Chains A and B, each alone.
Chain A
Amino acid sequence: MTAITLTGLRKSYGDKVVLDGIDLRIAEGTIFALLGPNGAGKTTTVQILSTLINADGGDAAILGHDVTREPDAVRDLIGVTGQFSAVDNLLTGQENLNLMADLHHLDKAARRRRTAELLQHFDLTQEAGKPVSTYSGGMRRRLDLAMTLVGRPRVIFLDEPTTGLDPRSRRGMWDVIRDLAADGVTIFLTTQYLEEADQLADHVAVLDHGRLVAQGTPDELKRLVPGGHVRLQFADPDEFQFASQVLDAPVRDGEALTIQLPNDGSVRSLRALLDQLDHASVDAVSLSMHLPDLDDVFLALTGHPNRERTTTP
């Protein structure tokens, strides 16, 4: 069954077109990643699907319920963890979860059971009695997600769930997301990181300036992207000229005195390259590795670099 359906979804703020006709079908029980830079329209898409704002045109439905015409039916099915933590900072972790349990109309016993279970699962039992204002970023994110899960939603929206987290907290969040999907929950996540989409998602769509420029499995997507490369820096123009010819470099920058060679970043291929340099007596000042990242995806798919991106994973 289709969990999320978008047909020709459009949204503008004034003259600025944020979503310019988005079509998507997401199967139930899968993880879907919407990949794009800041300002691509990711958050707007989540806001429309989670009934926070109305689209200007097109249709969106969650498990067969239209988000505009039956918002309460949709709200009954979904859970949302936004980009900015949706926790009450003045309350404790336990109180935040109690609040959610009460709003889902659980009775006292069910409330105690469910909140204890979630605190345990998200490793927050120790800190349950402390105000959320004292929590670290990772703990806050975990509590945020725990609150989303109190009502056992069947579709979960995660808007940049790991932005700003340290690598360890990010891995922890990935594990949680995988567990949820294993339980049959449909996950719609947005991310700026190709690696995150690659690690988690069954399907990925790339959003750029309000349009989907590609969609498919992570592997299909990566095939669209040129592989990584190695950049070599030279000290003087003669050496640069010589190396360019000997190595037959496809990308050369005569002003910066650098050349780029395709390379997948494996130890084997690097060693082969170094041997080749030795063999030809090419003397490079420095060498740097570049793996394919979102910038490469963007360059490949849109023909323009992703300038709005300011953070790196």
Chain B
Amino acid sequence: MTTLPLAVRDSNTMLRRNLLRMRRYPSLTFMVIGMPVIFLLLFVYVFGGTLGNGLGGASGGRAAYANYVVPGILLMAIAGTAQGTAITVAMDMTEGIIARFRTMAIFRPSVLTGHVVGAVIQTMLGLAVVVGIALLVGFRPNANLVEWVAAAGVLAMTALALTSLSVALGLVAKTVESASNLPMPLVLLPFLGSGFVPTDSMPTAVRWFAEYQPFTPIMETLRGLLLGTGIGANAIGAAAWCAAITVLSFWWAKSRYNRNTAR
């Protein structure tokens, strides 16, 4: 029963179930896209003029800041969707149908892969909307096609990592409320990194954290791909962080799912 074709087939069935559920219940999707858009508008139009002057570039001001802030906003959007995924998973686990799946001879992790892949698709669609709005408010990337594709790859990789983590958090959470709180730090991480201001403007302890936390290399890689700043070792750091988070989270989620049987 664990042969590859069956695993793919069952995972695919579960993915279709989740996409169907997202379409039936779109408010959560809108909610998670809405928040980064509001932050984008806030940071570009309210704080953007002042913060842009502090970037130390040649042009400065609102236009420069719009370019600077977009990678941070994109990560915030991914983190926001991950929060939504944790809620969805926690809600799903309270439904009787999960118990039914457990009593069926299906590829067991397919319930989880369905959630993960479904949420990655949801995230990528959300990111497309956020990028579109960013372009409208003054985001001016200079990326070529290859760089765009690479940036999309980095975003997908990040979405996969954070979604896997949030699926695990959704399984760990005892209530739907705690499932919505557990991934909260993820939404704040772009602030404690190079998302909104460069890390060298921060006090030592905060700067140390900001430079070594996973979101910073990811945001720097995105910035490099979209705006042509230096990438350096950040790409490797980003890939390593994402791979590690994905693998550990999925393993965690899987063992939780197999253990928590009588819930």
Contacts and interface: CB of A to CB of B under 8 A. Distances in A.
A51 interface: yes
A17 to B, nearest CB: 16
Contacts of A91: 17, 20-21, 24
Chain A to chain B: the 8 pairs with minimum beta-carbon distance, closest first:
A86-B96, A86-B100, A75-B105, A102-B13, A84-B96, A76-B105, A90-B24, A80-B103
A88 B97 CA distance: 6
A112 interface: no
Contact of A53 (B13, B17, B24, B261): B261
Nearest to B25: A90
A88 B1 CA distance: 24
A215 interface: no
A175 to B, nearest CB: 23
Contacts of B17: 88, 91, 99
Nearest to A50: B103
Interface string B1-33: 100001001100100110011001100000000
A51 B102 contact: yes
Interface size class of A (residues with CB under 8 A): 20 to 34
B162 to A, nearest CB: 24
Interface of A: 47, 50-53, 72-73, 75-76, 78-80, 82, 84-91, 95, 99, 102-105, 131, 147-148, 151
Contacts of A102: 9, 13, 16
B96 A51 contact: no
A131 B96 contact: no
Contacts of B6: 105
B96 A82 contact: yes
A89 B102 CA distance: 18
B10 A131 contact: no
Contacts of B10: 103
B158 to A, nearest CB: 28
A88 B114 CA distance: 15
A182 B177 CA distance: 47
B252 to A, nearest CB: 21
Nearest to B100: A86
Interface string B234-253: 00000000000000000000
A53 B258 CA distance: 10
Contacts of A52: 99, 102-103, 261-262
Contacts of B102: 51-52
Contacts of A103: 10, 13, 101, 104, 106
B259 to A, nearest CB: 10
11 contacts: A52-B262, A86-B95, A86-B96, A86-B97, A86-B100, A88-B21, A90-B20, A90-B21, A99-B17, A103-B13, A148-B100
B103 to A, nearest CB: 4
Contacts of A75: 103-105
A50 B262 CA distance: 11
Given A86-B97, A105-B6, A51 B20 contact: no
